[in-house]
């Protein structure tokens, strides 16, 4: 299938989804957000955006939910007074059938208290096609709260979140970045922006020991894989024991570069993931990752 046909199918699918609901990347979000979408909206409290993009691998909560495959996505977002945002996205994975592998819905709120401190919170829903749960992951909901501190030289975001499920897991991250932009050109209508960052990500690590094998470490047990409930090795008489601990999962380094206008943002984000844990059966992503996104403000 031609690339243009793929993009068209994603766009049509997103437009058919309708308004985003309450059941929905801080750095846990895999899909980037444009500077234009967060900019002050003049003359109206309401804003509507559409967007799409490509990525070489989708990383979320210390794990690859695209199974190391490239992906494409389309999205629509609504903003109210530049503080409340709701969005829905449809994601296609290469070499995966059906065409739309899963959907992402989100609802987030942010509020700046002054020029150096802000707070935000969000809830995100990942809904996978039922035929792909064994191959990809189980549908899940995640929520987080973030504190932002502007130290002038760097901007620090401290986030705490949890999976909202029977087997809830906590995650914590600290992201330091330095946003800057070029002088405006094209008669003051455009600029380039840069936001290099370093993200330190922590979460629950489950140690699994068996009577016949050495110990293994898992970074994610639920909702990506229900391996803990599957009783691996039970058919051979192997006994498994589990213990949880909280530890470092990965370090992310990246430098998003965006071309911004009043209604359009084109962003490229090269990044590098350094895993800090051992996972034999469900390896974490590592190495170079690339994302390319386009956002368009409708009104």
For residues 297 and 264, give the distance between their C-alpha atoms in angstroms, rounded to a whole number.
Answer: 6
Q: What is the pLDDT of residues 160-173, one digit of tens each?
A: 998 887 666 789 99
Q: 175 vs 9, 77, 153, 178, 253, CA distance in Å? A: 35, 24, 14, 10, 10
CB 65 within 8 A of CB 55: no
Q: What percent of the chain has pLDDT over 70?
A: 71
Give the pLDDT mean for 8-18.
Answer: 42
Instruction: Tell me which CATH homologous superfamily contains domain 3-25+46-297.
Output: monomeric porin ompg (2.40.160.40)
Contacts of 216 (CB under 8 A, 6+ apart): 207, 208, 278, 279, 280, 281
Give the pLDDT mean for 226-231.
Answer: 48
Pair type for strands 240-254 and 180-181 = unpaired
Reduced to 3 states (helix: H, G, I; strand: E, B; else coil), residue 210 is strand
Spatial CA neighbour of 26 closest among 118, 120, 91: 120
Reduced to 3 states (helix: H, G, I; strand: E, B; else coil), residue 36 is helix
Q: Which residue has the higher pLDDT, 30 or 87?
A: 87
Whole-prediction pTM value? 0.79
For residues 95 and 71, give the distance between their C-alpha atoms in angstroms, rounded to a whole number.
Answer: 10
- Domain ranges, ordered by start, for the chain: 3-25+46-297
- Structure confidence at residue 107 (pLDDT): 96
Task: Kindly report which listed range (110-119, 154-163, 217-226, 271-280) carries the lowest average pLDDT score.
Answer: 217-226
E strand or H helix at 282: none
Q: What is the pLDDT of residues 21-56, one digit of tens each?
A: 322 233 345 565 544 444 444 557 899 999 999 999
Residue 200: what are its φ and ψ, rounded to 5°? Answer: -110, 120
Q: What is the pLDDT of residues 135-154, one digit of tens each?
A: 888 888 999 999 999 999 99
Q: How far is CA 167 from the centre of its chain?
A: 20
First CA to last CA across the chain, in angstroms?
Answer: 33
Spatial CA neighbour of 228 closest among 150, 169, 151: 169
For residues 10 and 132, give the distance between their C-alpha atoms in angstroms, rounded to a whole number.
Answer: 18
């Amino acid at each position: 299938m031609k690339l243009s046909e793929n993009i068209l199918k994603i766009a049509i699918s997103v437009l058919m989804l309708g308004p985003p609901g309450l059941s929905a990347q801080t750095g846990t979000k895999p899909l980037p957000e444009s500077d234009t979408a967060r900019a002050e909206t003049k003359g109206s409290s309401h804003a509507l955006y559409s967007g799409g993009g490509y990525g070489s691998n989708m990383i979320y909560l210390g794990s690859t939910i695209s199974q190391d495959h490239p992906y494409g996505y389309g999205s629509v977002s609504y903003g109210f007074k530049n503080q409340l945002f709701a969005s829905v996205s449809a994601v296609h994975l290469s070499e995966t059938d059906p065409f739309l592998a899963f959907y992402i819905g989100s609802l987030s709120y942010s509020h700046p208290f002054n020029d150096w401190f802000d707070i935000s919170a969000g809830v995100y829903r990942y809904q996978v096609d039922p035929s792909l749960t064994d191959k990809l992951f189980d549908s899940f909901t995640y929520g987080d709260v973030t504190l932002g501190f502007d130290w002038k030289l760097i901007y620090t975001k401290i986030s705490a979140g949890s999976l909202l499920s029977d087997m809830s897991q906590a995650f914590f991250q600290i992201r330091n970045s330095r946003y800057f932009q070029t002088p405006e050109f094209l008669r003051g209508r455009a600029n380039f922006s840069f936001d290099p960052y370093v993200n330190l990500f922590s979460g629950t690590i489950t140690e699994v020991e068996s009577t016949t094998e050495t110990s293994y470490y898992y970074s994610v047990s639920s909702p990506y894989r229900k391996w803990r409930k599957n009783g691996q090795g039970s058919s051979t008489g192997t006994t498994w024991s589990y213990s949880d601990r909280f530890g470092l999962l990965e370090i992310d380094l990246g430098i998003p570069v965006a071309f911004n206008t009043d209604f359009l943002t084109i962003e490229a984000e090269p990044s590098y993931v350094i895993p800090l844990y051992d996972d034999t059966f469900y390896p974490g992503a590592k190495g170079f990752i690339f994302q390319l996104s386009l956002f368009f403000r409708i009104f």
